[in-house]
A and B are shown apart, each in its own frame.
Chain A
Amino acid sequence: MKSGFGLFSPAPRPDYSACSGCSLCLLVCPVWRKTHDLTLTPHARAKALQHGARSTDIAASVESCTLCGACEPACPEEIDLVGMMIALRRQLPRSPALQAVHDRMDGAAARPLAQPASNRSFLPDAALNKRRETLARVAALLGSAVAADDGADIALALETGAAVPAPRLERFLAPLRAMKTIVVADGLLLRHLRGWLPRTKIAGLGATLSRLPAVQRGLRTTDLYVIEPRAYHADHARLVRHYDRLRVETGCAMNLDLQRIAIPVTARNLQQRLGLEPPDDSAQARWILHRRKIQRIVVESVEDITAFEQVCDWPVVHLADLADDGKMIAGVES
């Protein structure tokens, strides 16, 4: 189960049937932290499926998940919990909100293809797209062009469990196939891009920026560095070492728990992602800040800025803003 005989291909990841019921996923689950309702956790979903439940039987649980991915590195059986959740969402009846997601993808599929200008591309997420100044700063730091098609509709489809039509996916991937490096802000999209484009180097925005010396120079020992959880958890075995080094070298605090799993700030369920319910990130933000002796918050994800600003008076800056402290010249260190 944990190792395969194949020398050159990784063993397939186990599914829910491997769940032993250890409950380690609960310890890191923001939904469980908020509700303390076992039925809304990966543990309960796996147990329900083991005993013959269908997606519709556990619809409330399937919709409650925030897809932060924290449960995956916590799981000793290495179950593909995010993949399992997306598959379960696909089996739910299509709601009017999901139909709108489909319409958006159909519209995007019909647009003409733009030719890429370089072999490096950057895919911002929806929140970063709304902050044009930060977006420009990030693009300059990365030395990458912002992709004409950022796949935001596909990211939303993945989140909601809507199937991505083949023409839309092909239109999205066609220009990316020419890339050597793609930096992705949306952690869920990043996870899937690695499967779709296995030969391309695909990296998360936070991990990429935090490797830049100019950015690292801007970090202080009194900072709380907030890792974007989806990209981190999708590549946890590798990134845990990167962030551990960063923590040692800079002395900053991080939103890591004792298992070195990132505590998500913006933890939103399906209804909140679809805009059908207002977000409520304050409890998560408060828990991350609880008894921290810090003077500034540095976030990888623009989405987290508002959540922190609502619960504290400390300045909240994006990682890209740190480069100014180090007199970064755009593009030089990319």
Chain B
Amino acid sequence: MNTAISGTFGHCPVAPDALQGIKRQQTNPSRWDGANWPEFAAALRARDVELQESIAARGVFATDAGGTAYGLPHGVVIARSAQQIAALLQTAQQYRVPVTVRGGGLTTEGESVAFGGVLLDMTGMGRVLHVDAEALTVRTEAGIFWHSLAEELRRHDLDYLSAPLNLTSSVGGSLNVGGIDVNSPRLGCSADQALALQVVTPTGEIVECSDTRNMELFQRVILGYGQFGVITEATLKVRRYTPITMQYFYYSSLRTAIEDLQMLDRSNASDYSGILTIMDCAVNLLVAFDSPERKAAFRANWQPRLRGRGEFGFALCMLGRYALRPWKLPEAWYLYQRKRDVFPEFRRPEHLRNGVMHDRTVVFSRAVWKHWGSRQMVIPDLATSAEKFVEAVERGNAVCRKYFPCYTLYCVGIRLRADHRPHYEMSCVPPDAEGWAYGCEFEPMTRGRVYSRDHLQSFKNEIYDIGVDIGASCYRFGGMMKGYIRRIFGDALVDRHLAMKRAADPAMILNRDVIF
């Protein structure tokens, strides 16, 4: 790959010579041509399924949170019941009409964008059905947002275990792809919290499944990217609500911060942990605790081993760094601005009581949307075993540097369940990970700048090429990135899953543009 800088303008990542050695990936799925749509729509309505075909109703779903993939469904169905979805899928099989399922729509590669056919909006099924405070479980409709679930659970003084830090992921969507939180190093991903599911299969059967009942379907649907059924209800483990105490450590080296993070995870030293960078020379390791006892144990046993500094010490360190490098003052100004803007978000007084943070998911998620959200987002990622993680992050960081002046890395561990290994097949969990997998998201800060699709796609390709090179997996391998699936998982595994998909979904209608 030729990445040499030439001339006075620096390297252009979308120049004709920039992609040598990088296979171009398909970025727009082939569009379904609309065959049989009128007959299908009439048949669906004959079964009392409401189908919205106005441009206003369809246009809402033109893109996903990524904002780089655009497509329009022919019609929209708002999910209301498993029976309604069964009728939809049976009719869709009959007329070979694609059905794309959308939860919170927080995909970034167009996985929840319909390129024709039906868009099934699962947020219509958002009720909590039953809370069992004794058994610490909840039964909920799968279209519910995690935050809406939290609102209901709080009235019982309960909380969910782990969920993506954005408030508007849906339960069903997260169970399909993973769902990572800063407590995943202890509690695993969201998908591992599911005890049982109600699923509507691609041919329209309504099936209850779990680790002991219809086990094979359960294994395929969990982390299944929506290929083997629509999750309509889920029974999840929950826990007692606890506020948390936070502690931050600052590093100037990614490698050191990651090594310390993994040491803490292995030692079960904290209840929450993760890394968030402002720049690759300003790395924040956050740890948090559910109880004063856990925090005290951390301070006594593990904090002395950490190589990071406190906020004041790190600020002094940075002052020294930039005093010796005055030509890097713009970088220092960026760091200062970022600290000034972002840090208060994590210290909002209405969420703090005597140093204890209440509703940490609200605090974190609102900060994420406010300071990292935009109309166009690309967040390529790599998921590796613990051993390969430092290399993956350092190489990914170099790619970020090449493409964007500012970016953030978010790193977190994911505790794996040995008994769920069949769930992890062809998922974001890399096959060689034991005990923990580690994920890193590489998120450019576009800061109002508009980048070409080619620029963004080239960036993603380079990140994913690292994954192929070192034998990693990734979280967002569907949609526009599905060209990488065979490179990551190999033909044998993909063909086996494709055969299962064909058997389960004869007309290949369900989320057909996502994986295969």
Contacts and interface: CB of A to CB of B under 8 A. Distances in A.
Nearest to B361: A258
Given A37-B78, A53-B56, A258-B147, A24 B167 contact: yes
A266 to B, nearest CB: 20
Contacts of B154: 258
A21 B56 contact: no
B166 interface: yes
B73 to A, nearest CB: 13
Given A53-B59, A76-B369, A27 B148 contact: yes
B316 interface: no
A20 interface: yes
A219 B351 CA distance: 22
B65 A57 contact: no
Interface string A240-260: 110010001000000001111
B121 interface: yes
B362 A21 contact: no
B67 A20 contact: yes
B123 A36 contact: yes
Interface in B288-331: none
Given A20-B373, A27-B167, A36 B78 contact: yes
Nearest to B368: A76
A146 B327 CA distance: 63
Contacts of A292: 155
Interface stretch (A44-52, A164-172, A178-186): A44-52
A131 interface: no
**Of residues B60, B123, B145, which shows the largest number of chain A Cβ atoms within 10 Å of its Cβ?**
B60
B105 interface: yes
A92 B311 CA distance: 54
Contacts of B374: 20
B456 interface: no
Contacts of A248: 353
Contacts of A61: 56
Contact of B362 (A3, A22, A48, A258): A258
A39 interface: yes
B338 interface: no
B56 A57 contact: yes
Contacts of A37: 78, 124
A122 B155 CA distance: 37
Contacts of B167: 24, 27
A244 B369 contact: no
Given A24-B369, A51-B59, A19 B147 contact: no
B157 to A, nearest CB: 9
**Of residues B147, B155, B448, which shows the largest number of chain A Cβ atoms within 10 Å of its Cβ?**
B147
Contacts of A291: 155-156
A58 interface: yes
A58 B123 contact: no
Nearest to A259: B362
Contacts of A48: 56, 59-60
Contacts of B467: none
A84 B187 CA distance: 43
Given A20-B369, A26-B123, A244-B350, 8 more contacts: A36-B143, A51-B59, A53-B55, A53-B56, A241-B350, A258-B150, A258-B151, A258-B154
30 contacts: A3-B341, A18-B375, A19-B375, A20-B375, A21-B65, A24-B168, A24-B366, A24-B369, A27-B147, A27-B148, A27-B167, A27-B168, A36-B78, A36-B123, A37-B78, A37-B124, A38-B60, A38-B123, A39-B60, A48-B56, A53-B55, A76-B366, A76-B370, A241-B350, A244-B350, A258-B154, A259-B359, A260-B350, A291-B155, A292-B155
Which 10 residue pairs are nearest across A and B when measured between Cβ atoms? A76-B369, A76-B370, A291-B155, A23-B168, A244-B350, A44-B60, A36-B124, A258-B359, A20-B373, A22-B369
Interface of A: 1-3, 18-24, 26-27, 36-39, 43-44, 47-48, 51, 53, 57-58, 61, 76-77, 240-241, 244, 248, 257-260, 290-292
